[in-house]
Amino acid sequence: MKLNHLTDETLLDDTLKLVERERNIGGQILWHLKEIDRRKLFVELKCSSLFDYCVRILKYSEGQASRRVSGTRLLKDLPGIAGKIENGSLNLTQLNQANFFFRDEKISSPEKKAEILKKIENRSTRETERILHEHRKEAVSRNVFLVVKEETKKKLEKVRDLKAHTCPDNDSLITKMCDEVTKIWDPTLIKRMSHGSTEGRFIPKMIEAQVWSRDRGVCTKCQGTYALELDHIKPFAVGGKSTVENLRLLCRACNQRQRVTYFQNTIPDKNAFQLKRPDG
Ligand SMILES: [Zn+2]
């Protein structure tokens, strides 16, 4: 592309227009990613998450993917941010900063999120960091680096995959591990635990163990190991039993995808029924 014939004015003007278009496309991409996420469509492409899809299929770098996934998450609660990306008052880096901040500080109310986002509009990355820092309840985030053997790392990754639903980050995972180990190792707690374990209200531990062993600890759809869940083949809500035969292992993504397709397949039927009825 040769631009040396352009006047300075045209060059600056064209650049401005291109960047406007780029931001506009950026906003549209977020809407598309949000819909893909809602449908869990990435599962069809053997991706374990929207992030995985952004990296492997869309070829974004991990940083680019993280920023877009953050933007998509925020867009769910706050549809107005798409317009702010398009007019440039917020950028994806800021949304990423804000998304992690909301998660760390356990802020879930859309009103509170909107209030904080308002404060970082038209600010630089560094200013955004400072503003968010001022809103932290306690400024005690410390990085801990662990040097471990490859084998230990694999064990940690396995535990992380198993507990991905309840412990989405390292901090909650390590807290959970400590709590669980304390239950086993703290002699004062052993008695209480043996009483509690008989109250199996949901799926009996024995059944759970048999399903895990039969399905060899992998998702029965995609063979993944991340965030596995026990799924009732005939749903519990329609009388499906918690038996080995009616249970299978699915990863969270496949399970969510399955729920979406279940609704897509059942709702049109209902509509068809309702449409027919008035005619008799
Ligand atoms: Zn799966």
Instruction: Kindly report, residue by residue over 213-271, the tens digit of the pLDDT.
Output: 899 989 999 988 888 899 988 888 888 888 899 999 999 999 988 888 776 776 554 44
Segment among 38-52, 80-94, 160-174, 259-273 with least mean pLDDT: 259-273
Region 32-46 average pLDDT: 94
Residue that the structure tokens 């995609």 belong to: 222
Q: How far is the CA of 67 from the centre of ligand 1 (A)?
A: 24
Q: How far is the CA of 57 from the centre of ligand 1 (A)?
A: 17
Q: What is the pLDDT of residue 162?
A: 87
Q: Name the pLDDT band for 65 (thresholds 50, 70, 90).
A: very high
Q: What is the pLDDT of residue 259?
A: 82
Tens of pLDDT, residues 152-208: 888 988 888 888 888 877 788 888 898 888 777 766 554 444 333 333 346 887 888
CB 36 within 8 A of CB 51: no
Separation CA 235–CA 241 (nearest Å): 8
Q: How far is the CA of 48 from the centre of ligand 1 (A)?
A: 7
Q: How far is the CA of 164 from the centre of ligand 1 (A)?
A: 14
Q: How far is the CA of 208 from the centre of ligand 1 (A)?
A: 18
Instruction: Take residue 58 and report the two structure tokens written for it.
Output: 């869309």
Region 69-89 average pLDDT: 91
Q: How far is the CA of 189 from the centre of ligand 1 (A)?
A: 36
Is the pTM value of this prediction over 0.75?
Answer: no
Q: How far is the CA of 130 from the centre of ligand 1 (A)?
A: 40
Q: Name the pLDDT band for 278 (thresholds 50, 70, 90).
A: very low
**β-bridge partners, 232:** 247
Instruction: Take residue 79 and report the two structure tokens written for it.
Output: 């549809």
Q: How far is the CA of 176 from the centre of ligand 1 (A)?
A: 24
CB 213 within 8 A of CB 219: no
Q: What is the pLDDT of residue 37?
A: 95
Q: How far is the CA of 159 from the centre of ligand 1 (A)?
A: 17
pLDDT surpassing 90 at residue 78:
yes
Instruction: Take residue 33 and report the two structure tokens written for it.
Output: 């990613």
Instruction: Take residue 216 and report the two structure tokens written for it.
Output: 């060899």
Q: How far is the CA of 42 from the centre of ligand 1 (A)?
A: 11
Return residue ranges of the chain for CATH 3.40.1800: 200-263
Q: How far is the CA of 158 from the centre of ligand 1 (A)?
A: 16
Q: How far is the CA of 241 from the centre of ligand 1 (A)?
A: 22
CB 73 within 8 A of CB 110: no
Which CATH code fits 200-263? 3.40.1800
Q: How far is the CA of 202 from the centre of ligand 1 (A)?
A: 22
Q: Which amino acid is at 26?
A: G
Q: What is the pLDDT of residue 115?
A: 93
Residues in CB range of 114: below 8 A, 6 or more apart: 78, 80
Separation CA 104–CA 129 (nearest Å): 14
Q: How far is the CA of 231 from the centre of ligand 1 (A)?
A: 11
